Amino acid sequence: MKTLIYKIYAWIMLLNAVRPTYPEKAEYYLKAMASLCVVGWMLDSVGLWFAENTLFYRGMLIAIAVNMYYGWRWHRRLGDFKSKTFWTKNLQMWGIIISVYPLLEILYRMAGENAIAEVFKLIVQVSTILYPGSKALKNAYLFSDKKYPPSFIMDRLYNFEKSGNLQDLYGKEDNNLNE
């Protein structure tokens, strides 16, 4: 991205230079505009995604922060907290989420606009939030001496992690989940 920005800057500067011929200036102009269009489209797409998925990405940020907090507290209580391990594991988790979620989003987009695609999107987003979220809930559960979240919620969480069936997590029989 940095290289692209430098190239765009160079093409714009060359447009104003005295030496290039008019055909060369036209070439620089077209290259700069084509590159800016791609950058603009990418920024617009990202902005639209964030607008559509506000609850999801905010939930992800909260899940990551809570996971880090309770992981830190739990491992401090056990006496085995190591800062390097803490950051390595968390950065690894962030990297996995940042690299894998877009692939899952592409699969959802390829399915089109239908009920199956919407259920798939819901499963992907719940599963993605639960990657850090389940760790946070498990650490909070252990930290509270298995008092909170309640055991029945933790049982549902463990069952959902095994099956991927939303009914295992939400317990809804008639909500058209996982048909």
* pLDDT, tens digit (0-9, with 9 covering 90-100), for 24-34: 877 877 887 77
Q: Are 37 and 59 members of one domain?
A: no
Total-model pTM: 0.68
Tens digits of residue pLDDT in 2-54 = 777 777 767 677 667 777 787 887 787 788 777 777 778 877 888 888 888 89
User: Which among 21, 24, 1 is positioned nearest to 11, based on CA atoms?
Assistant: 24
Q: Are 61 and 133 members of one domain?
A: yes
93: in domain:
yes
80: in domain:
yes
28: in domain:
yes
Q: How many domains does the chain have?
A: 2
Q: How many CB atoms lie within 10 A of CB 97?
A: 17
Q: Are 91 and 151 members of one domain?
A: yes
* Least confidently predicted of 37-41, 67-71, 120-124, 142-146: 37-41
Q: Are 127 and 95 members of one domain?
A: yes
Residue percentage of the chain with pLDDT more than 70: 90
The domain in which residue 21 lies consists of 2-42
One-letter amino acid at 12 equals I
Number of H helices, E strands in the chain: 7, 0
